């Protein structure tokens, strides 16, 4: 079975063709970074308009890359589309397009949870990852930890109480004038600073819950900027780190270390409470080099840690197609009144 996946939950327009839930035939992603970077973050209305402009071209290119022609619709057996969570306007573009295709081609349609897609991006490339497992989804909009007991059981055991990890990185980058998205910039600059120069405290949840919280570190970093007189730099300085103040590089390194510290702290506590055979980390922030390196070292003798490849870490449609395949292969499909749900739970 070949499934066409469509993803438009935020600021990437993506389409992918996946065969039997395992083999990626083609994957195309149109980024909107240039559109939103001047505002320091995603502007929902602009994101929706970009999806409208890009989606037809992206899907056509996806078919062309798989079969060298854009009209190979007869090979598609079903369509999987992101229905939430995400920006409602952006989601509706993908939903409307997917419905129109499914209706015209007379093939089944299923809606997919975006977070479940990230979770499934790990076994898509690492079928050897055993269950039960802990799955950490960490991105610009979401930071949640799930317990995967089996293929059909996914239970959220903790989430962020305020900012997501990627959101915290973006906000510091914006405050320092380093540009958007902030995660890749901070990841590139952090090795040039001293990660122990600025001390940040991990949040303590009195109830003993494993929830995350990143608003405190953001506030502490902004206060440090004022006290240490660290001023924003011009965006082009991010490409010339040798001209950046040492105090700024030290702050960036210390900030990233604290974000990773909290992710690993919650993951370790969850590991102690659950009998698991693997740890799976996905989402845009899973591309962070320090998180990948330290997680592998941290759990080296305790449990294998799996990450998706860099191309499948950020938003993509291959993970949506692979997730939708399981339902389509079982003969399931959604009705035409399926709609977007911006706060859709797993």
pLDDT(328) > 70: yes
Band (238; pLDDT cuts 50, 70, 90)? low
Residue 167 maps to which CATH number?
3.30.420.40
Which structural domain, as residue segments, surrounds residue 170? 130-307
How confident is the model over 143-163, as pLDDT tens digits?
Answer: 999 999 988 889 999 999 999
Does residue 318 share a domain with residue 298?
Answer: no
pLDDT(90) > 80: yes
User: How many Å apart are CA 181 and CA 314, to the nearest integer?
Assistant: 12
CA nearest neighbour of 118 among 323, 342, 343: 323
Q: Please count the structural domains in the chain.
A: 2
User: How many Å apart are CA 124 and CA 319, to the nearest integer?
Assistant: 7
Cβ atoms of 149 and 278 closer than 8 Å: no
pLDDT(50) > 90: yes
Instruction: Evaluate whether residue 167 is within a structural domain.
Output: yes
Does residue 138 share a domain with residue 63?
Answer: no
Instruction: Evaluate whether residue 344 is within a structural domain.
Output: no
Does residue 177 share a domain with residue 31?
Answer: no
DSSP codes, 126-193: -TT--SSEEEEEE-SS-EEEEEEEETTEEEEEEEBSS--HHHHHHHHHHHTT--SSHHHHHHHHGGGS
pLDDT at 207: 72
Per-residue H/E/C for 132-144? CEEEEEECCCCEE
Cα distance between the two ends of the chain: 25
Does residue 145 share a domain with residue 239?
Answer: yes
User: What b/e sequence results for 301-310 when a residue is b if at least 16 CB atoms lie within 10 Å of its CB, and e otherwise?
Assistant: eebbbbbbee
pLDDT at 151: 82
pLDDT at 30: 96
Does residue 292 share a domain with residue 169?
Answer: yes
Instruction: Evaluate whether residue 224 is within a structural domain.
Output: yes
The predicted model gives 59-77 an average pLDDT of 92
Does residue 245 share a domain with residue 171?
Answer: yes
Band (79; pLDDT cuts 50, 70, 90)? very high
User: In whole numbers, what is the pLDDT of the chain averaged over residues?
Assistant: 93
Band (71; pLDDT cuts 50, 70, 90)? confident
Strands 153-159 and 143-150: antiparallel
């Amino acid at each position: 079975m070949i499934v066409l996946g469509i993803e438009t939950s935020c600021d990437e327009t993506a389409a992918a063709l996946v065969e039997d839930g395992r083999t990626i035939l083609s994957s195309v992603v149109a980024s909107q970074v240039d559109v939103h970077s001047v505002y320091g973050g995603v502007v929902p209305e602009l994101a929706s308009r970009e999806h409208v402009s890009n989606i037809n071209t992206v899907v056509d290119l996806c078919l062309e890359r798989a079969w060298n022609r854009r009209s190979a619709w007869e090979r598609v057996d079903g369509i999987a589309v992101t229905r939430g969570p995400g920006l409602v306007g952006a989601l509706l573009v993908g939903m409307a397009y997917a419905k129109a295709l499914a209706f015209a081609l007379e093939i089944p349609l299923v809606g997919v949870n975006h977070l479940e897609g990230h979770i499934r991006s790990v076994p898509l490339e690492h079928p050897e990852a055993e269950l039960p497992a802990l799955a950490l989804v960490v991105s610009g909009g979401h930071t949640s930890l799930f317990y995967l007991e089996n293929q059909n059981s996914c239970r959220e055991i903790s989430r962020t109480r305020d900012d997501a990890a990627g959101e915290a990185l973006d906000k510091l980058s914006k405050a320092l004038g380093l540009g958007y998205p902030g995660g890749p910039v901070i990841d590139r600059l952090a090795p040039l600073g001293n990660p122990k120069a600025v001390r940040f405290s991990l949040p303590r949840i009195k109830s003993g819950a494993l929830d995350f919280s990143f608003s405190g570190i953001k506030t502490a970093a902004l206060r440090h900027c004022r006290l240490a007189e660290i001023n924003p730099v011009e965006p082009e300085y991010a490409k010339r780190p040798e001209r950046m103040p040492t105090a700024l590089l030290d702050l960036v390194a210390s900030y990233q270390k604290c974000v990773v510290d909290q992710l690993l702290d919650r993951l370790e506590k969850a590991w102690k409470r659950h009998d698991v055979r693997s740890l799976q980390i996905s989402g845009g922030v899973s591309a962070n080099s320090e998180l990948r390196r330290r997680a592998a070292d941290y759990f080296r003798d305790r449990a294998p840690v799996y990450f998706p490849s860099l191309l499948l870490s950020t938003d993509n449609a291959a993970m949506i197609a692979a997730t939708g395949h399981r339902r389509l292969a079982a003969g399931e499909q959604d009705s035409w009144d399926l709609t977007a749900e911006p706060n859709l739970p797993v």
